[in-house]
Structure 1
């Protein structure tokens, strides 16, 4: 079939899978990249869906993992302890690529993340250790203190189990890639 679509990577399962990971790696390296700030969706302990913007800190295409940093006492950690399955969503307008990743999340903290904490710059450390803890009621808009605390720092290690990639260029394409099939890929109707 002849195509006028300029994105050859989108017409090939291997190319599409590689493009998703390339965009994730770009998100780790570039603060302006769309993959830098994916949306993380979890299920609260009382059964409500929750979505929030997070910051992608590491991506390992060989292991199929992504790392996010968070406050150990945040609602997302409580949700993940209740149900360790989550989803990440990224819309990359420049590439016209939507990536939805199904992940299993392990919450790492304490000595397991000490080496990572040591590399977190001071301005970023301000996000881990607020008093009162994240999500607690406060009397006024700024009635909290920032107290960087390594004991409040956690890494969410996300093991990717499935990727649903949708290219929304001139000729839409969609594919699913699963860890269980060694990322072989299957075309889906967009």
Structure 2
């Protein structure tokens, strides 16, 4: 018995819409694959860095994605040096890999106050650490976590391109670019 591809995988417009549907689901559903994408940046010495993050907002019309972080984290320093990033989502149930290229703006201070006010109190402890994230410590628990609005930052990813690869019975791959209004182009997988 041959498995057929879902209708959304064979039409460029539907595939683009499906990617955004899954990103939006990731913001609101803790169990959705897009909830915990991998964010990739580049260190000053040229080495790539990848880490799992939490997707906090997605806006299809503006083509933006938000990730919250500690302002003192290495990823913020990397993005100040090179404000470009990639985001990767693997959705096993849909057999869909999504890779996103984005420019990144770092919002903090007054620019992030409204967002900080919506962060639940228990989650605020992720923003504010002594010493700063990634700094050496003498043993495993030699740090202090206290909510600190001054340490809160929002990474606002302005999506430039999306590469969607559906690994169904027949592989299908497409690239969507902001510059052409997200028209889409099929690519060899």
TM over 0.5: yes
Superposed, which structure 2 residues align to 1:43-122 within 5 Å?
43-122=42-121
CA deviations on 1:22-62 (whole Å, 9 max, x unpaired) are 00000001011000000000000111100000000000000
| Residues 1:172 and 2:171 are matched in the alignment | yes
Where structure 2 has 5 or more consecutive residues not aligned to the other structure, the ranges are none
Residue in 2 that maps onto 1:125: 124
Which runs of no fewer than 5 residues in structure 1 stay unpaired?
none
Q: Which deviations, in whole Å up to 9, do the C-alpha atoms of 1:88-130 show, x marking residues without a partner? A: 0000001110000000000000001101101101111010001
Aligned residue for 1:20? Answer: 19
The structural deviation recorded for 1:131 is: 0.5
For the aligned residue pairs, the C-alpha RMSD in angstroms reads: 0.9
SS at match of 2:117: helix
Paired positions, count? 188
Question: Matched residues in 1 for 2:95 and 2:118: separation?
Answer: 33
- Per the normalisation by structure 2, the TM-score is 0.98
State the TM-score, normalizing by the size of structure 1.
0.97
Counterpart position of 1:135: 134
Q: Distance in 2 between matches of 1:5 and 1:152?
A: 49
After the TM superposition, which parts of structure 1 deviate over 2 Å for at least 4 consecutive aligned residues? none
Quote the Cα distance in structure 2 between the aligned partners of 1:33 and 1:182.
27
Distance 2:159 2:171 in 1: 24
- The 3-state SS of whatever aligns with 1:79 is helix
